Structures are given as C-alpha cells and as structure tokens.
Amino acid sequence: MAVRVADAAAAASLLGLLLLVSFCSAAQSITTHGSGGGGGYVSAVGDPGMRRDGLRVAWEAWNFCNEVGREAPGMGSPRGADCFELENGVDENGQRTYKVVHRVTDADNNLRAGDPFPGAPANITDIDLYAPAKELYLGNLCQVADSPAPWQFWMVMLKNGNLDTTAAICPENGRPARPFPQTSRFPCPGGAGCMNQPLVFHNRTALDATGRRLRGGLFGTYDLDAADLGSKDVSYYSVTWEKDLGSGDAGAGGWVFHHKLRTSPKYPWLMLYLRSDATTGFSGGYHYDTRGMTKIVPESPHFKVRVTLEVKQGGGPNSQFYLMDMGSCWKNDGRPCDGDVTTDVTRYSEMIINPETPSWCTPRRIDQCPPWHTFRNGTRVHRTDAARFPYSAYHVYCSPGNARAAEQPTTYCDAYSNPQPQEILQLVPHPVWGEFGYPTAKGQGWIGDPRAWELDVGAMSQALYFYQDPGTPPAKKRWSSLDVGTEIYVSNHAEAEWTLSGFDILVPEDCVGSSGGGPISRCL
Ligand SMILES: *[C@@H]1O[C@H](CO)[C@@H](O)[C@H](O)[C@H]1NC(C)=O
Ligand SMILES: *[C@@H]1O[C@H](CO)[C@@H](O)[C@H](O)[C@H]1NC(C)=O
Ligand SMILES: *[C@@H]1O[C@H](CO)[C@@H](O)[C@H](O)[C@H]1NC(C)=O
C-alpha cells in the first residue's frame, strides 16, 4: 500500500491554507530532487501519514540500558499493544454502523515473564528476554499483510533515566561494569530500586458517544507508590490517540497522538518517544529482534520524513526535544551489527528544537564537536577552521567508547545508557540545516509555531559525521528507528506536552530493494 506524493499533496489541500502551502512546496521539492529516472516516492511505513482507521500502536518501557531489569508490580512484562480493525455494518434503519474489533486482549497485555504465550509452548523466565519475545508475540497479533513486507505497529517508547551506579546493573560499553559511587551525572534519588519500570494503565481504543470518533490511550507513572497522578511531585506520562472516522480516506486528518511527560524529584530524567521502528531486525539502541512500522528500512541519502508537530509545553531548559531522532547500528569497521554488544555501536543523531539548548561545541571546546562539518554540496570544513566551521549548529558530539582512533581531543559517550557502545551527534537549529528542510533558527517549530515538516533526513544523515576505524569501507547507513519526542534530563518538576500526526517516511519508488535483513531503500 504505497501512497504517492502527488496524492498526499492533493489530499493535504483539505487541511487548510497554511498547511497547503507547506505541503505543496514539499511536493515540489520532491519532484526536483527526486533521484533516479524521474520516478515517484513511495511510503516506507505501513500506515502512511497515520491515516488508517484500524490503528496499530504498541508500547515498550526500558530501563537505563534498554532492558527491563525488574517488572513493575502487577504490570506484567513492559510491552503492550492496542490493535484493532474497524468493522462496518448496517443497522435496522439502514444506517451505517461501526464496531471496533480488538486483536489484543488485556490478558495478552498482562503477560509477564514465565507466562506461556497462548498457542505456543514458550517458557521464558529471564525477564530481559521475555519482553522482546512478548513484542514478537504482540507483533503477530497486530501484523498487517502488505507489500513488500508485513508490518505491525507504531511504538510508544518510555525510558527511565535513573542509573543505580552502585548496583552495576548496566554494562560499560557492552562489557560487565563494576559498581562506582553515584555522581550528579547519573541520578538515582530513591536509592536501590530507582531503575524501576513504570505503572502502565491502558484505555483501549473505542468509539465515543457520537459513534464517529475513535479514542484510546495509555498513561502512568514511575512513582510506584503514587496516590495522586495529578500531583506535581509525581512523575507522569500519557499518550492519547484520536481520529475522526473516515478522516484518513480523504488524506486529511488521520490520527493525532497527544503526549505528556512530567518528571519528579525521584524520577528526574525521563524519555517519551513515538517511534517508527523496522518490522524486523534490531532497531536503534536495541539488541533484540523487534517489530514496528517501517516495512522498508530507509538508507541514506535517499529518503525523507514528514511529520506534523505541535509543541504545547517544552519541558524546561533540560528538555532535549527531538524533532527527529534517528537510530541505527553499525560496527566501527563499517559492518552491520550482529548482536555482539562489544563491537556493535548504536549511532544516534538528533535535532534538538528546544531554543534553550546551548551549543557545547565551540571554538574553545572542539572536543564537543564532530571533526568535520560537510555541506550538502560535499564541501568539508574541519572543526579547527574557526572561520568556517558552524559550531553553533551542534549541541554536542561524542565518540563511541570503543573507537580506537577517535580524533583527539574528543569526549566519549555515556558508556552505560545502551547495551553497547554508542555515538551521538546532536544538532540545534542553524542556517546550515536549511538545505535539508530542518529548522534554521532557534524557536522554529517550538511552542506557538506548529508545523508540518518535510525533512530530508536521508541527505542530512549522509552528510553527518560518524566515526569509523581508519581504512574501513563506509558503513551503509540504514535507519531502523526514526522517532520524535523528548528526553527531559535531570529536572525535578518539568512538564512537556505535544501532539504529533501525519508521520511518514518516503523513499524513491525505484530504489526499493532488498538485503538479507528485508526490504531496504537503496539507489544504485
Ligand atoms: C518453566 O521453566 C521452569 C524452569 O525451567 C520450570 O520450573 C517450570 O515448570 C516451567 N513451566 C512451564 C509452564 O513449562
Ligand atoms: C483514560 O480514560 C479515562 C476515562 O475515560 C479518561 O479520563 C482519561 O483521560 C483517559 N486517559 C488517556 C491517557 O487516554
Ligand atoms: C558548498 O556550500 C557551502 C555552503 O553553502 C559554500 O560555502 C561553498 O562555497 C560551496 N562549495 C562549492 C564547491 O560549491
């Protein structure tokens, strides 16, 4: 089910003048920059633009190093899903009726480590291994047959940023860690047990009283003893999804995901994202087989992302709000990841649109900058070239902890927040990003400036610096996870709120190929 850009642009006219203008210029830029024999673009996701009535959404919760650790009391393994079909009927008066037919039961969502999966002789007692197995099980229930590959769901991701350094629960760059005293960089205010999974309450999607609007959601807290989820001293998150029936048929409307995230003194570092993950293989930051929405994994430089974002509350000065967060994995010698956490390296790049986010990369702190900046036309500028290097385009760069030849001086990335070493390149709005459709000035896309973006994430990610060992062939940059959301870093009482809709990933029609791992976009 591929949606062509022309259809999407035509449909967008229903959204009103403002959006019309941006969508039309988007469509135009796609025709002019289109690669390969003038072909069109096709969607790489199962539900292009989030328009399908029968929604597929799942959720996952991670501890600091992207595992479970311990299940929260009474909550089961931290994976769940809300997947349904909308069935049409006719009542006795000849009026059309609609019915939501769910594919995932509460019993499925409540499954916890050790429970067998219905219909399969599973008996996985390891809590960390059970969650990915449950994700595959839920994926089977939600899967939609499609070409060139089936797909499963959008993924809501929750992550608790507390790290109990004295417990040595998280590996250091993929190797067993030793305990060390708590530092301000790694909060664990509640002491032992601070890395807990959240409470998760689910409102199954249902039609409202008018019978014409679908609504569902999920909410909860990390404060397991919370009496009042409305209290400012209690951490909180919620995601609700809403859609008018049939609104997707005309292309306008579609699902709107409304997010809230609040930190508390005991849980000062929290993350909430909506991800489009690959339907098979590892997704960024994760070393188990996952399920998702991206049926064709996009490869740099040939893909674009569309998303409509309205930020209502920013989440304070430490809220790293990612207009686009891309995650992938390849080894320092350029080979794809294979699950060996000592040599696999998670690669992340994010554009942080919070205007309060400073540039740590400066002419005096080049250890916080990538070695090179590359313009779209291929011109490279070294970070010591103070006259030409765009320092204020970067928040921070950090090298993988296992990079044996990282250009010095450098800062190495946090060794504990992934199951394996990681490399992170964080950007902030700047004129140099304009050539990729990204924000060019602080405040763009922020509170009071909702926008429909078309980002040339493919060309941008191709131009960005990522470390490789000297003399190794360049890695294929395949982005198995593309998401939007915020990471609120150590803040006692911060609150963020935003809506997201219209998410799509577009790849050139004539570049859809396949690799061992499944369909990818690859222009030869
Ligand atoms: C699951 O495995 C455990 C440990 O091997 C065993 O004690 C238990 O009986 C098994 N349960 C089922 C339902 O097979
Ligand atoms: C869940 O449902 C309750 C009761 O209808 C409602 O008050 C609440 O806002 C819903 N929350 C979410 C996150 O969907
Ligand atoms: C490439 O683009 C940069 C930034 O716009 C510009 O300064 C430079 O002159 C360009 N180089 C070439 C060869 O066109």
User: How does pLDDT run across 138-189, given as a tens digit for each residue?
Assistant: 999 999 999 899 999 999 999 999 999 999 999 999 999 999 999 989 999 9
CA 251 to chain centre: 23
Q: What is the rounded CA–CA span in Å between residue 266 and residue 199?
A: 15
What integer pLDDT is reported at residue 118 of this predicted model? 81
**Which residues lie below 8 Å from residue 160, measured CB to CB, with a gap of 6+?**
61, 62, 63, 64, 195, 196, 197, 198, 222, 267, 269, 270
Closest CA to 416 of 83, 141, 187: 187
What integer pLDDT is reported at residue 12 of this predicted model? 35
The set of protein residues with a Cβ atom below 6 angstroms from ligand 3 is 375, 377, 379
> Whole-prediction pTM value?
0.90
Ligand nearest to the CA of 380: 3
Q: Which residue's alpha carbon is at the smallest distance from atom 2 of ligand 1?
A: 123
What residue ranges in 198-317 does DSSP mark as E strands?
199-207, 213-221, 236-244, 256-262, 270-277, 304-314
Q: How far is the CA of 66 from the centre of ligand 1 (A)?
A: 26
Residue extents of the structural domains in the chain: 2-521
User: How does pLDDT run across 91-150, given as a tens digit for each residue?
Assistant: 999 988 999 999 999 999 999 999 998 866 668 999 999 999 999 999 999 999 998 999
DSSP code string of 349-398:
EEEE--TT-----BTTBGGGS-SEEE-TTS-EEETT-TTT--GGGEEEEE
What's the average model confidence in pLDDT over 479-494? 97
Starting at the edge strand found earlier in the chain, the sheet holding 154-160 runs: 96-102, 79-90, 56-62, 154-160, 270-277, 481-488, 319-329, 346-352, 422-427, 394-398
pLDDT band at 44 (very low <50, low <70, confident <90, very high): very high
Atom of ligand 3 nearest to the CA of 388: 7
Using DSSP, state whether 263 is helix, strand or coil. coil
Given ligand 3 and candidates 379, 380, 436, 440, which is best to mutate, with the most ligand atoms within 8 Å of its CB? 379
Question: Helix-strand-coil percent breakdown of the chain, rounded to 5?
Answer: 15, 35, 50
Given ligand 1 and candidates 123, 124, 126, 130, which is best to mutate, with the most ligand atoms within 8 Å of its CB? 123
Q: How far is the CA of 389 from the centre of ligand 3 (A)?
A: 12
**Which residues lie below 8 Å from residue 469, measured CB to CB, with a gap of 6+?**
332, 333, 334, 403, 404, 405
Instruction: Say how many C-beta atoms besides its own lie within 10 A of residue 168's C-beta.
Output: 14
pLDDT band at 289 (very low <50, low <70, confident <90, very high): very high
